[in-house]
Structure formats: C-alpha cells, structure tokens
Structure 1
C-alpha cells in the first residue's frame, strides 16, 4: 500500500480528470490545473484513483486537433 506521503511529479503540470469533476464538481473541472501547491508534485493516490493526469495527456473535450483536419 502506498504511503500518503508518496508523490508523483508531472511532466508539465497536473490537471483534473472527468472522474474528479464527477466526484467534486464544485472544486474540480476537467482539464483545469489542480491546486497551485500540487501542480508539479501531487499525492500518488490521486493519480492511482484517476483524479489527475498530466496536462500533456489531456486531449480536451470537444477540441479538434489541427492534424485531424488534414
């Protein structure tokens, strides 16, 4: 079992996932950066639970990639 002090480091910054928004819509919006003091290093359990992801992995909802049009 992971220790509550285990941290994971983001390549860019951590953003909330759709799951986080469903769990706590008043504080977590999918694709938005997580709280400033956790943007680079966040609790590992949040990643394990699917509440956060690296912003480089966030495709966005309803956004079209330029390469999809070519």
Structure 2
C-alpha cells in the first residue's frame, strides 16, 4: 500500500468485486475491517473493492439504521 488514505462520508463497505475476489473475508455491503472503516487505502477504492456505505443500494427488509 502506498500510504494514501481516502475518507468515507459515512463508513467504507466491501463491494461485489471484493466479495468475488475474497469471499472468505469480504461480503458485499458489509463494513470493512474496523481500523479502516473511516480512512482506507486509496488503492482499494481505485480497484473497486470498497465504496461508501451511503452509496450501497439495499434490498430487502428495512432496518433501524435506514431511519438514522
């Protein structure tokens, strides 16, 4: 990693691509590792492995977090 970080508006979550590449540790829409949830390596964003949680299109049941 080159050390450049990007800051999320909310938190970073894994993308479908991350889940495809590493299904044992990355599930699409789930928060990334706790120590990177707000500031993550820029290369992950550039590679399409992470996205801001507010950009995730959710399907299914509403949760309490949808109202916060």
Q: Does 1:29 align with 2:23?
A: no
How does the TM-score come out when normalised to structure 2? 0.85
Count of residues in Structure 1 that have an aligned counterpart in Structure 2: 62
CA-based RMSD of the aligned residues comes to 1.9
Rounded Cα–Cα distance in structure 1 between residues aligned with 2:39 and 2:2:
13
How does the TM-score come out when normalised to structure 1? 0.83
**Max Rg structure:** 1
Stretches of structure 1 that go unaligned for 5 or more consecutive residues are: 65-70
Q: What is the CA deviation profile of residues 31-52 of structure 1, one whole-angstrom value per residue up to 9, with x for unaligned ones?
A: 0000000000000000000000
2:18 alignment partner, SS class: helix
- CA drift of 1:53 comes to 0.0
Hey, which bits of structure 1, 4+ residues long, moved more than 4 A? none
Rounded Cα–Cα distance in structure 1 between residues aligned with 2:13 and 2:56:
8
